[in-house]
Amino acid sequence: MRLYDLRTEYRINPIGLTAKAPRFSWKMESQEKDTLQTAYEINVTDEDGKIVWNSGKRASDQSVLIPYEGTTLADEKLYKVKVNAADNHGNISEITGSFETGVLDNTEFKAQMITSDFPEEETACPIFGKTFALDKKVKKARLYATAHGVYEATLNGQTVGDYRMAPGWTSYHNRLQYQIYDVTELLDTENKIEITVGNGWYKGILGFYCMPNQYGTQVGTFAELHVEYEDGSKDVIATDETWSVKTGEIRYSEIYMGETIDTDAPEITEGNVVVKEFDKAVLTAQENEPVRITEKIAGKELIVTPKGERLVDFGQIITGVVELHVKGEKGQKIVIRHAEVLDKDGNFYPETLRQAKSIDTFICNGEEQIFRPHFTFHGFRYICVEGLEEFTADQFVACVTHSDMEKTGDFTCSDQKVNQLQSNITWSQRDNFLDIPTDCPQRDERLGWTGDAQVFSWTAAFNRNTALFYTKWMRDVAAESSLEKGVPHVVPDILGQYSASAWSDVAVIVPWVVYQIYGDKGILEENWKCMHEWVDYIKNNCEESGLWQSGFQYGDWLALDKEESADRTGATDKYMIANAYYLYVTDLVKKTAEVLGKSEEAKEYADLYEKTLDAFQREYYTETGRIVSETQTGAILSLYFDLAREKDRKRILNTLLTNIANHKNHLATGFVGTPYICHTLSENGEHEMAATLFMKEDYPSWLYAVNMGATTIWERWNSIKPDGTFDESGMNSLNHYAYGSIGDWMYRKVAGLSQLEPGYKKFQVKPMFVKGIEEWGTEFESVYGKIVAKTSCKNGKIHVHVEVPANTTAVIVLPEKEEVQEVGSGIYDYEYETETCLAVERFNMDSTLGEIVAEPLAVELFNQMAPGMLEGPMIQFANGMTLAELLGAAPQAKPLYEAVVNALNQKEAEAGSLIESYAYNK
């Protein structure tokens, strides 16, 4: 047995930590089966080797987020951590690591927020600078830096760190992150520090109306360099009025509009530094993973369009910037425009960007150069290049940029289109998790829409470790929420709009997701006030009936069951959706109270839930179980959130199936119904229908976009129409992740992996079949170690492979087997015979009646089982309909159709076997 992956607050050997009681996690690895941790001991020592905390030997199987309980930690000190653990086989192992504290009290900072006296119309980015000398040997140096705007720092000409778009986007009036850099190796005797600041989210153009100055009219920077010498003395170099300021090569920079870099003797303006009023109380050390360039993709193809535009195709929609390697003429201007897609004729199509110009301009100095924008990002696959006569595709490199979250999960299968869908889901997550969870990365929006983030949160937390990312963002949600106003539609809030059903429920759902996936009770403790106040806000705004039936609601956003020109909210009653979510989050708040040991509050919210559920059932269902909105989403919420009366569930399930049949076995759901439609079917005995919806390839479906060449998830089911034209609503992003929420069903239901206890301390593996997929599986790096669940069903055999990490247990439910097995850690393989064939058959419920009756066997069977059926006057009309559509009108015919379809497919299989046998014998 060995211990590995020791972390402090999710990080490996972090610096600048300001948590007063940091939490430690580690993993166990063992070749022996059924391994559990039986005890641990944590020892923390300071730089002098003095013990500041010894946990003592604790009999416990806990190894995730164990809080420090020692003496008060000191500022800017290195602490060493040693963990010893024992297992149930008598083995003992240890692991060591470290963490370094930062400045634990913001009042200790000496720096001032400085700005310039440049006029507001000056578009060049200011560069704040300071020269200083060091005359002693440096032991260590740390730079603490932030900005009103986005910044990059250099020390003696070397870029400090590799962060992009720092300090990120927070609720600036309430919170401002600063970053901590180890700059020990960059210092010399004579030194110069420079900090360049772009407008970013603070001052830049932002929102639908492209308005500047959302938070202030002048950018500024706040920084301190802490130098510790070998002799124990210290120096602090801090921003103040003694710094200088000038403009430089970056002449213009806006997130939406792009950046202009002039390296050909740009006009440099010297200015005066002005100290800006600033409350240090808003400062907080970097909370989430920084934004970085995580991948570089060289241009794949040069394209000359019918219009004569010269393009580079990178083969993938990404978020980031393009790096250009070039030797131009002195003063030569090169312009790069960005777009997600080409139009149906193959021309450059930037219209999905709306008012975001996304144009980068580079002016050459005549030497070999590498240009890369600093303070902007674009969503694109194609660039249009102007100002270069000759170039090659690989001169241009797309720099993929996002919050550098660790990849934790993946799903693969034998169907390449489904694999492309998984790729599209993960790319849309990477492209939109840029410090905050944005709705889209390309147009004049890029906002932290709470509804999008909520529906995608389960999928997101599987694909990447989102614990720190969501922790940081939820602090902004809490900062901008209140019992009086509710929760904003977007966070950080630049719209000033609050509270709308599924959108604002993010305040409760995301902390619960983080707790379930990572076992992080801390996020529940931290967000308890915001969570219960959101439920209290709804309760305070309910009618006498006890239901929330007033105010603006987004409903089932972009659902297909209502004319969009109305209001894009879908056909499902908007207040039914609002109250369904009200019940859902009330139940989660009750569960949170139970986790936190708040028994009185747990009872309070349990009582509220029961009272509200009774009102809901009386308002939205008839006595016989008819729903006020007999839509797919109305039925889905009734079943998935367990809101329907038990006696009505069967009728409501039939309502859902009939609605699906009436849509030719297609979904018609929007942002609310889509995340749960396949879950609902699979959990209510209709997994085959869930699989049918999932594997559809025509509009509307997930694989329709794949067939249309999508490399990310679209905002709309028909963002690109079959003829290659585009939705022209003015709201058509090709990089939205909401419909990527199907990933959660792929991982939990198809691969079968779901947590039974927080952090996957105990988990279930229960794979389910999908026609057309013969091999499938997932890998997930849980907080306890890697879980593997892979299944195949082909050639008459089912094979299931499960890997259970040490210190966890698994419940394995094998396909077509009744017994449930609970196992400890280890590797498990099961193989057994089956008659199930997952290969796609020729005939199914999506076959038209005409295709079916073209087979003599089908006619014979229909005449036997339903005499006269094929002789009615409407038969010609029915011949053009699918069996699924016919079932919508006559669901009692299902056994008949299934019998005919099965008989036809069996005949096809027998004929295929005869042909194979004949070929073999030849």
Active site residues: 445, 715
Determine whether 487 is exposed, middle or buried from the number of CB atoms within 10 Å of its CB (0-12, 13-18, 19+): buried
CB 709 within 8 A of CB 641: no
867-892 burial, b if ≥16 CB within 10 A, otherwise e?
Answer: eeeeeeeeeeebeebbbbbbbbeeee
Contact at 8 Å (CB) between 608 and 572? no
**What tokens does 778 get?**
């997932």
The closest of 559, 498, 204 to 375, measured between CA atoms, is 204
Q: What does the alpha-carbon distance between residue 665 and residue 846 come to, in Å, rounded to a whole number?
A: 7
Contact between 300 and 717 (Cβ < 8 Å): no
Class of residue 718 by CB neighbours under 10 A (exposed 0-12, middle 13-18, buried 19+): middle
Residue 727 burial by CB count (10 A; 0-12/13-18/19+): exposed, middle or buried? middle
Burial label, 105 (beta-carbon count in 10 A; 0-12, 13-18, 19+) = exposed
Token couple for 784: 């306890």
Q: Which of 205, 151, 716, 737 is nearest to 448 (CA)?
A: 737
Q: Any alpha helices (H) in 433-520, and if so which ranges? A: 450-463, 467-479, 501-504, 506-518
529: tokens are 């006030």
Phi then psi for residue 321, to 5 deg, are: -135, 165
DSSP character at residue 770: B
CA-atom Rg of the chain in angstroms: 30
**For residue 397, which of 332, 308, 320 has the smallest C-alpha distance?**
320
Name the maximum alpha-carbon separation found in the chain.
Answer: 103
Give the whole-angstrom CA distance, residue 272 versus residue 290. 31
Task: Count helices and strands (H / E) in the chain.
Answer: 21, 44
- Assess contact for 553 and 569: CB atoms under 8 A: yes
CA distances from residue 558 to 134, 441, 474, 713 in whole angstroms, order as listed: 61, 19, 26, 15
801 alpha-carbon distance from chain centroid: 28
Token duo for residue 709: 């060449």
At CA 343, angle to CA 339 and CA 347, rounded to 5? 75
Amino acid at 182: D
Q: What is d(CA 657, CA 650) in angstroms, rounded to the nearest whole number? A: 11
Query: Among 320, 256, 317, 258, which Cα is nearest to 293's?
Result: 320
Angle between helices 450-463 and 467-479 (to 10 degrees): 160
How would DSSP label each residue in 267-322?
---EE-EEEE---GGGEEE--SPPEEEEEEEE--EEEE-TT--EEEEEEEEEEEEE
- Per-residue DSSP letters for 817-879? ---EEEE-SEEEEEEEE-----SPPS--TTSBHHHHHTSHHHHHHHHHHSTTGGGSTTHHHHT
